[in-house]
Amino acid sequence: MTTLITGGTGRTGGSLARLLHAADRPFLVASRTGKSSNPDFKAVTFDWFDPSTYENAFKDDIVPPVDRVYLLPPGGLMATLTQSGPFIGFAISKGVKRFVLLTSSQTLRGTPALGEIHQYLIDKGVEYTVLKPTWYMQNFNANFLHSIRKDNEVFSASGEGKVPWVSTEDVAQAAFDALTIEKSPNTEWLVLGPELYSIDHAAELLSSILGRKITHKKNTALEQEEMYKGMGAPPDLSHLLADLERLIKEGKEAALVDQPAEGKYVGKRILEQFFLENRDLWIV
């Protein structure tokens, strides 16, 4: 059966598309433009805020029909059931039986925003897996790209707290497994990397690879919130991100590695591998 990938041109969605393609499993990339980043991947026009586009993924010429969906709700960490619920309900009415939802490591079922979407899937009685990844390795070439190149620094409110940094490719692999396994897990998975690194230690590792000193600028939560605002993030998201970094400082992300094995999905990629593969990004 066919998988619909919302956010199919993004980091995890794009990687998931490549995995499904390599496994010769049918899928559709959903995007506002109706195009995929890979011309070999079939795409449909889809806009969360335009219900008239929902039908595009369920037309008669899509064979086999869509019966499972990778959910990357609009708004990321600030996504709401009000925004995503109408499409989920529509998809169920069209025969979708399995959903894989991307949330975050600190999102609890039933709590505002993503947690409400998690609970909604349970209430609907569909097959589901909720992926709860920790912080992405890719943040070093997104949030920190300019600061590493220009100022030789990364910045955070995480202090000396450690993170089991995970690659978006491993998150996509978890999604692939949840979507294609014969019996749906019907649970949540913490998606973690195999190693714990503080940002101090990550900066030291990156320094050794780049051959120049990269420092960690330790901000207060308020200072970090202002940094995110300066990068263009909305105020509510800036506050949330800074607060999540405070949880790193308190050891909440490091503690995830001690959770029971059946509730974790541990990726294979390590931070050193990521830095080596992307070294040229930070060369000046």
Instruction: Indicate whether 222 pLDDT > 90.
Output: yes
Least confident of 37-41, 71-75, 190-194, 257-261: 37-41
Contact criterion met (CB below 8 Å) for 145 and 282: yes
The confidence band for 284, taking pLDDT boundaries of 50, 70 and 90, is: confident
Q: Is the N-terminal amide bond of 64 cis, ω within 30° of 0?
A: yes
The string of DSSP codes covering 34-74 is: S--SSTTS-EEE--TT-GGGGGGGG-TTSSSPEEEEEE--T
Both structure tokens of 223: 């200072």
pLDDT one-digit tens code per residue, 104-162: 999 999 999 999 999 999 999 999 999 999 999 999 999 999 999 999 999 999 999 99
User: What pLDDT is recorded for position 110?
Assistant: 95
Of the candidates 28, 36, 27, 33, which has an alpha carbon nearest to the alpha carbon of residue 9?
36
Report whether 172 contacts 15 (CB < 8 A). yes
CA distance 131 to 277: 25
In order of 58, 77, 212, the CA distances from 28 in angstroms are 10, 24, 43
Domains of the chain as residue ranges with CATH: 2-133 (3.40.50.720), 134-166+192-258+269-284 (3.90.25.10)
Question: Looking at residues 250-255, what average pLDDT do you find?
Answer: 98
What interhelical angle do 81-93 and 114-124 show, nearest 10?
20
Percent of the chain predicted with pLDDT > 70: 100
